[in-house]
Structures are given as C-alpha cells and as structure tokens.
Amino acid sequence: MSFPSVTRNARAVVTGAGSGIGRGFAYELQRRSGAVVCADIDLGHAEETAETIRSAGGKALAVACDVSRLEEVEALAAAAEEFFGQPASLIVNNAGVGVGGNRVEDIPMEDWHWIMGVNLWGVVHGCRVFAPKLRTLGAGGIINVASAASFGAAPLMGAYNATKAAVLSISETLHAEMAGSGVRVAVLCPTFVKTNIIRKSRTTTASRTQGQGMMDKMGMNAEAVACTTLDAIDRGRIHVLPQINARVSWFLKRVSPALFTRGMGLAARRMAKQGLAR
C-alpha cells in the first residue's frame, strides 16, 4: 500500500531539539524541505539547532519549552502556528531524561516525579495539544520517542523503563484511535544512540560510566535514527526499531517474555559480579 509522505515539506515541531535525537530529527526534516520549530527547555541549545538549519537555507524557529507543563506545550503550538501561518503537520515528541542505577524501591521519589514529568507527561501533553489539530487537518503525523527500554525491562532502570513503556502503549492506542483519520502515528524504540542523555541523567556514578561507555562504543548516529524513523512513518509503520539488537529483543520478548526477563536479570547479575553495576 502506498502512503503520501508526511515528512516531505513538513511543518514540524520537534521537542528536545537542542541535542541528540531531537536535533537529528530537526536536521533531517530540513533536508526534506521542511520548516522546523525547534523546542527545548534550553533555549540556547534550541537556537543552535535552528541557526544551523537557517545557515543551510532552511526555515527554523527556536522556542523554549518545558514539556512537563501543559501551558508551555500549548504556547509552543501557538508559536508554531504563527511561524508556519497554519497548524503544524508533524509533531515529534522527543524530549526525554534518564534515571538509573537504583532498584525500584530505592529510586528517590523526586527522580520519579522528574522523569514522569518529562518522559510521560511531555508525550501526553504533546499528543493532547497537537492530535486535535492534526485530526482537523486530516493529514500529518505524530512521532513519539520511546526506547527499547519500553519492552526490555532492564534491571536498575525501573523509572525509565516505566515511562517508556507508557509512551509505547499511548502510541499504540493513539495509532488505533487515528485509524481512518489520515493522521499517522509512529513510536521509535531504539537501543543505544549517540546522545548526551546519560551524561545529563540522574544515575549512580557506576551506571553512568558504564552506560556512557556503551553509548559511545555501540551507539547509532542520531541523524541516522531520525532518517530511519521518518522513512518508516512515510511507509505507514507504527513500530520503529532501527537497530538489530532492538529487533532481536522485541522478537524474543514477544516469543518468550518470562525467559527474556530472566535473561535480563541474569545479565545484570553477571555485570554486577564484574563490578560494572551496583
């Protein structure tokens, strides 16, 4: 089945566009002749992304936005509509933070609230604000950035896993609800991507060192991840797993969830014995 492109000449809003995957999406959308509103809690980083796009001959606007606050996402949509002269046609709910290194019962409550505010409520707010506008357009797309953690259930990542599992579920539900509307929904579930999320995360020192080392060694380029995702939504796909290890984990979890989970626990204990995790 052939689908019209929602990523060519898009009027796109990207949250967390100041770095990492969000910046990768912004750059790739500009290469597809799109105009991009680059939103980030750090306006300076958002402006760096927007200026790079403008320097390449593209059209971009930087907007400061804390996605954990509904009123700021509503203001973001209004700013985008004014910038584009019409509603956005594509929203990438990408902004995210990390928490790790503690067992579920040991995660500080302030870390639970922090990560839920960005990773979960940020996506809820983005969908709540932009989905009705896209329904009215009868076209366009929503991309929610989850993670392979959404189904991987890796030990010592309970808070992060929970928020990303919620994003996966919300995306699947929204995909079903958007059926026949002309609006496409995709959810991105990568493993390691070369970003700064671990450096900026609230994690134990051992987990941060280990995680960043794996990210630097094994991580996929953020722009390649963005390109794969945009191609996928253009083909009408909902689940986007850009790396082979994500696809293998997805398959194993679906075939034998109990065995997969035990395997994750065994791997974590082995790493702990090697002094690589708490």
d(CA 145, CA 195): 14
- CB proximity list for 77: less than 8 A, separation 6 or greater: 13, 87, 88, 129, 130, 133
CB 35 within 8 A of CB 60: yes
The encoded tokens of residue 4 equal 């019209």
Q: Which residues contact 162 (CB under 8 A, 6 or more apart)?
A: none
Contacts of 189 (CB under 8 A, 6+ apart): 146, 147, 148, 150, 151, 164, 168, 239, 240, 241, 246, 250
Minimal CA–CA distance to 14: which of 143, 201, 137, 138? 143
107 neighbors 203 (Cβ within 8 angstroms): no
**Active-site amino acid positions:** 160
* Whole-angstrom distance, CA of residue 122 vs CA of residue 76: 12
Note whether 226 and 27 are within 8 A (CB): yes
